[in-house]
């Protein structure tokens, strides 16, 4: 992030649009949640000289004729970007599906489907609805607190796109930059667009840590496989590091940066990190961004408590899905036992750097939920993966498709009006 002095006031530059030639300028000193829109403007990026800043009352968009770029080149660039994005999605989906469906599917010979199976299937789908609803409500509450326009649709889209990109990126983490871009493209201020996804991520991490610690303390003996238990402990520890360091950076920034520097240098010495200076700068910036966002939302203690509660609800609903899918195929497993085992599954695959933790998630599921016959377990795993993984990708694609169609219709309408 770079800074420039303009009109005797310091401004920070944040790239948030599809076109990298656009930058957003907002005062560095402006950190108040209710004033994040002050002096927000969007301009074409200048060369090495400091950009000229318009009056704060101007619109945060620039007419295309003032951009100085050919509309044809811009259209080509957007088309090429969309094509690459589509190819990336197809490749990730193909590799993940190939890893999961490469084996020959056994013929199902379990309990016949009936009214009870349908009831449990509805329960599994309800869990998915609760997952998305909990995350959507979090964004609605943050929109209200930050003084932004409340939109159930934008809140849902942001939640869905977060899970969509989490499913496509390694280790299931990577949706926040896309959520920030989506919120800003919908007219939300730079500060709010950053604060909401980052706070949502931090509270979500805390939600899983809280649930995992409860399981480890009260139901640690639910699994006996030592390697899987060790992997789960390592995963829970990894989950704990991120929120701990974020909170520490907010309370004691110098201490947190020293810790980050120590581990960065250690990683360089054992040849894990190639460029320690660059890695350290990125880590410090990330910690600062997350801690500032958490402090901004954290001014309202009740709101922060509600966000944590919704995050725990999100995790409980997500980890409850295996209970229902196993019962769909005739399994007999208690809810607490199933919930605890699923927490261990998610914790044990945290460090697997594949999209959606593909491969490891299925293996852990098979190891733990082996109470079913072979055929029933296979189909239960497929249904679980669809609800917990592929459904988020499908919903994300629908969100993108609907928005793309609406933009196309809007452009045609504007042309006809002209």
Where b means 16+ CB within 10 Å and e means fewer, 195-215 reads bbbbbbbbbbbbbbbebbeeb
* Lowest mean pLDDT segment, chosen from 7-11, 158-162, 265-269, 304-308: 7-11
Q: Give the model confidence (pLDDT) of 222-273 as tens digits.
A: 887 788 888 888 888 888 887 787 777 777 777 878 888 887 888 878 777 7
Distance CA 164, CA 107 (A): 31
Q: What is the DSSP string of 278-289?
A: HHHHHHHHHHHH
Confidence of residue 364 (pLDDT cuts 50, 70, 90): low
The pLDDT of residue 336 is: 92
Q: What's the gap between Cα 138 and its chain centre?
A: 13
Model pTM score? 0.69
Q: Are strands 3-6 and 41-44 parallel, antiparallel or unpaired?
A: unpaired
Predicted confidence band of residue 394 (pLDDT cuts 50, 70, 90): very high
The whole-number average pLDDT for the span 322-334 is 86
Task: Show me where the domains of the chain are located.
Answer: 3-66, 113-409
124-128, 136-140, 332-336, 378-382, range with the lowest pLDDT: 378-382
- Of the listed ranges 186-195, 223-232, 347-356, 391-400, the one predicted with least confidence: 347-356
- 135 contacts: CB under 8 Å, gap ≥ 6: 159, 162, 163, 200, 204, 310, 314
pLDDT, one tens digit per residue, over 155-197 is: 999 999 998 888 877 655 667 888 988 998 898 988 788 889 8
Query: Residue 307: its pLDDT value, please?
Result: 94
pLDDT of 318 > 70? The answer is yes
What pLDDT is stored for residue 142 in this prediction?
94
């Amino acid at each position: 992030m770079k800074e420039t002095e303009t009109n005797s006031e310091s401004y920070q530059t944040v790239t948030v649009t599809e076109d990298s030639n656009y930058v957003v300028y907002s005062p560095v000193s402006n950190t108040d949640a209710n004033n994040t829109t002050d002096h927000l403007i969007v301009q074409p990026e200048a060369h090495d000289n400091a950009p000229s800043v318009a009056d704060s009352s101007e619109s945060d968009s620039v007419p295309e004729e003032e951009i100085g770029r050919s509309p044809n080149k811009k259209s080509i660039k957007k088309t090429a970007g969309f094509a690459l994005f589509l190819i990336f999605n197809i490749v990730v989906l193909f590799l993940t599906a190939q890893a999961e469906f490469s084996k020959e599917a056994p013929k199902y010979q379990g309990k016949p489907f009936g009214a009870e199976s349908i009831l449990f299937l509805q329960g599994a789908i309800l869990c998915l609805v609760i997952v998305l609803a909990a995350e959507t409500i979090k964004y609605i509450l943050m929109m209200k607190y930050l003084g932004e326009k409340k939109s159930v649709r934008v809140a849902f889209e942001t939640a869905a796109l977060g899970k969509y990109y989490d499913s496509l990126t390694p280790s299931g983490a990577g949706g926040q930059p896309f959520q920030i871009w989506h919120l800003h493209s919908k007219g939300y201020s730079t500060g709010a667009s950053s604060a909401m996804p980052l706070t949502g991520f931090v509270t979500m991490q805390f939600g899983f840590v809280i649930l995992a610690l409860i399981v480890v303390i009260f139901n640690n003996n639910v699994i006996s496989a030592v390697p899987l238990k060790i992997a789960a402990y390592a995963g829970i520890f990894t989950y704990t590091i991120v929120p701990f360091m974020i909170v520490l950076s907010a309370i004691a920034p110098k201490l947190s940066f020293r810790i980050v520097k120590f581990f960065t240098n250690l990683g360089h010495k054992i040849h894990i990190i190639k460029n320690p200076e660059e890695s350290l700068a990125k880590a410090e910036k990330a910690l600062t961004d997350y801690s500032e966002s958490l402090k901004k939302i954290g001014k309202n203690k009740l709101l922060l408590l509600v966000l944590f509660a919704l995050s725990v609800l999100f995790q409980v609903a997500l980890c409850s899905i295996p209970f229902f899918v196993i019962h769909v195929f005739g399994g007999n497993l208690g809810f607490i036992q199933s919930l605890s085992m699923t927490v261990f599954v998610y914790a044990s695959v945290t460090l697997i750097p594949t999209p959606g933790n593909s491969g490891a998630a299925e293996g852990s599921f098979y190891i733990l939920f082996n109470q079913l016959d072979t055929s029933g377990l296979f189909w239960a795993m497929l249904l679980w993966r669809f609800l917990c993984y592929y459904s988020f990708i499908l919903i994300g694609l629908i969100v993108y498709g609907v928005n793309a169609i609406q933009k196309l219709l809007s452009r045609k309408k504007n042309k006809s009006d002209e």
